[in-house]
Amino acid sequence: MLSLPPNQVTAVILGIMQDGGLPHIGCRCPRCAAAYEDPRRAEYAACLALVDTRPTPPLVYLIDATPDVKFQLDLLADVLGAHPQRPYRLRQPDGIFLTHGHMGHTAGLAQLGPEAMAVEGLRIFAASDLNNLLLATPLWSPLVERLQLTPLIPGQVLDLAEGLQITAVPVPHRDEWGVGTAAFVIQGPNRRLLYLPDIDNWDDWPNAAKILASVDVALVDASFYSPDELGGRLPVAHPLVPDTIERFAHLPTQLVLTHINHTNPILDEDSAAWTAVHASGVQIAHTGQQFFL
């Protein structure tokens, strides 16, 4: 479990991996095999929590509902506290923001339904088209009945608490259902953070440099370091880490890499890629990392 400071708005990293996590299903590469052998080497899918410990009980929001959501909520057990009616259960979070519809960002919703956490009235903030997709999918109906689906309007500032605001920013990313993909700009009482776990490439987002320069911390897509990681597969639309560093490492923004594929050598502290990232002044995210806003 994580300990968070009192009277503070904190963004907390609850996972750093691409959708499949580490180990990756069906993979026997040395990195995944080691994580199967030793669960301490495992890493959760990318997720960020916003925790405001100024009120009692604290406000707790997640960005994305990953396949690892039950473990990620347990990391927040101390700030969530006990469920008001159910013995030995955690209080549900105050809401979950969804960046887009892919597996690593929505599969955890299934854990919230009647077979598992059985939430009641949990607010889910997502693009209107993504909410409509959830409503139109019969498989999700027992869960959706327990949710309060709240549409996000791109560019519209949403107040979560005094001095705490969040804004959905559209970004280009493969979109099989036409529901869009969002990054989130979070404005705290003192600092501003961008959370952008998925983007196809920087060239298709003309506002990239301007938005990254406007925040104090930017957590950005670092899925792949090199196309060689794909073992002959066609390239997957994500910016490569060296390109991201070349474009943005000079900014005064604290640049932090997240959403890392299990093939990415920046996961290994003895790799040339890891050394190159740290030499550039860019950080590699780690679970439990906290940013005071």
pLDDT at 235: 63
Cβ(15)–Cβ(47) below 8 Å: yes
CB 256 within 8 A of CB 219: yes
pTM: 0.96
**H/E stretch holding 130:** helix 128-136
- With cut-offs at 50, 70 and 90, classify the pLDDT of residue 201: very high
Strand partners, 51: 10, 60
Render pLDDT for 49-95 as a digit per residue (tens, 0 to 9): 999 999 999 999 999 999 999 999 999 999 999 988 888 999 999 99
Give tens-digit pLDDT for 227-261: 888 776 666 789 999 999 999 999 999 999 999 99
Residue 188: half-sphere exposure toward Cβ, Cα within 13 Å: 21
How many C-beta atoms surround the C-beta of residue 226 within 10 A?
Answer: 13
Domains and CATH numbers, the chain: 9-292 (3.60.15.10)
